[in-house]
Amino acid sequence: DAGVIQSPRHEVTEMGQEVTLRCKPISGHNSLFWYRQTMMRGLELLIYFNNNVPIDDSGMPEDRFSAKMPNASFSTLKIQPSEPRDSAVYFCASSLAGQGQRAEAFFGQGTRLTVV
């Protein structure tokens, strides 16, 4: 299996622009997670989906952030408008919900976002 695939790997954008990050989970996995990692705040869970339905979006920092999962093999995280403080590494992860609490999370390689 190719693992969790994220694109792009790196994104540099100007403040105010819209940014879309993409994720393809491992085939057959039915839980998907978006995380943000910064030096200051560490690893933060933004939102997670189960069977394509958002379960908890309480970690989404503000209305500028939105996430969708239109089907089992694709998810997006959008920031509009972007701000310099959004600069971070964004990770997507997937797991198999049927394994319950034993299930590990598989992470993608991340998207490094820089907003200038």
Partner 1 sequence: GNSVTQMEGPVTLSEEAFLTINCTYTATGYPSLFWYVQYPGEGLQLLLKATKADDKGSNKGFEATYRKETTSFHLEKGSVQVSDSAVYFCALKLSGGFKTIFGAGTRLFVKA
List 13, 50, 73, 87, residue binding partner 1 (CB under 8 A):
50
User: Measured between alpha carbons, how far is 116 from 14 in angstroms, rounded to an integer?
Assistant: 5
Binding mask 53-92 for partner 1 (x = CB under 8 A): --xx----------------------------------x-
Shortest distance, position 107 Cβ to partner 1, whole Å: 3
Shortest distance, position 17 Cβ to partner 1, whole Å: 25
* 102 scored as a contact of partner 1 (CB under 8 A): yes
- For residue 13, what are its two tokens? 């954008």
Using CB under 8 A, count the residues that bind partner 1. 24
Nearer to partner 1, 74 or 107 (CB): 107
User: Measured between alpha carbons, how far is 75 from 63 in angstroms, rounded to an integer?
Assistant: 18
Of the candidates 19, 6, 7, 9, which has an alpha carbon nearest to the alpha carbon of residue 115? 19
- For residue 79, what are its two tokens? 């920031």
10 Å CB burial of residue 105 (0-12, 13-18, 19+) is: middle
The residues that touch partner 1, with contacts defined as CB under 8 A, are 4, 31, 33, 42-43, 45, 48, 50, 55-56, 91, 93, 97, 100-110
